[in-house]
Amino acid sequence: MKLNDLKDKVILITGSAKRIGREISVFLSQYSPKLILHYYKSHKEVSELLSIVKQYNQNSYSIQCDFSDKNQVEQFIKKIREEKIDILINNASIFPKHDKWELFDSSLANQIFYVNVIVPLLLIKNCFDAPRSGIVINFIDASIEKYFSDHFVYRLSKVSLKHATKILAKELAPYVRVNGISPGAILPPAQLNKDNIIEEDLNKNEFYQKTLNSIPLKIHGDPFYIIQGIQFILENDFLTGCVIPIDGGEFL
């Protein structure tokens, strides 16, 4: 598929309002697909984004859902089933601060797994349950290739999503291609504050300076490299079950 063929396609992007999700949405919008922009807390940001993407396709719209709330997810899926989704980008994710092995807690673990694994799988299941062509891109994390005890359940959730990407690539072939992107240090970590609103820990320059030492290529991350990954996955019809690390070699 060429990006110019996106014109007649319907694309669902979860967590689209800010950061990497926003960059992907703005990039894809110029090819005029119908974009369904999922968001959770970022009302203001998504309405600003919608005004940009609607310049290219008036049918694009935003849709709110808290992926940790099973009832909301059920309603969300009902609405999504009314669409014929061609491309699903599972980008939304939670990255709680107090997710350490010492503080292991089953209710937080369930929440992280629900948002980061179960909802992406439910979306794949419901967007592509009939045999027709489609593309899924799951967002993983390059750091899962090494073993750290901070963000413990988050890491386990991303390992699961990576594994699921490969299983589903076989399961959904030949109709649907299922791939993933594993970002490295692209943007400063976003943590949820007490109102569940995303805040970045460091400003970008501080973050890039801090991460440079551990990146073999000695250049810092940027959402631009993720966009290049998205383009590659969309355009390469022979690619499935592949999770591409985009991390400057940091986790080799």
Tell me which residues touch ligand NAP (CB under 6 A).
15, 17-21, 39-42, 65-68, 91-95, 115, 139, 141, 183, 185-187, 190, 198
Q: How far is the CB of 245 from ligand NAP (least distance, A)?
A: 10
Q: How far is the CB of 24 from ligand NAP (least distance, A)?
A: 9
**Nearest CB to ligand NAP, comparing residues 65 and 117:** 65
Q: How far is the CB of 159 from ligand NAP (least distance, A)?
A: 12
**Nearest CB to ligand NAP, comparing residues 32 and 215:** 215
**Nearest CB to ligand NAP, comparing residues 116 and 240:** 116
Q: How far is the CB of 141 from ligand NAP (least distance, A)?
A: 4
Residue nearest to ligand NAP according to CB distances in the complex: 15
Query: What backbone phi and psi angles, to 5 degrees, belong to 39?
Result: -150, 170
Q: How far is the CB of 58 from ligand NAP (least distance, A)?
A: 22
**Nearest CB to ligand NAP, comparing residues 32 and 155:** 155
**Nearest CB to ligand NAP, comparing residues 128 and 154:** 154
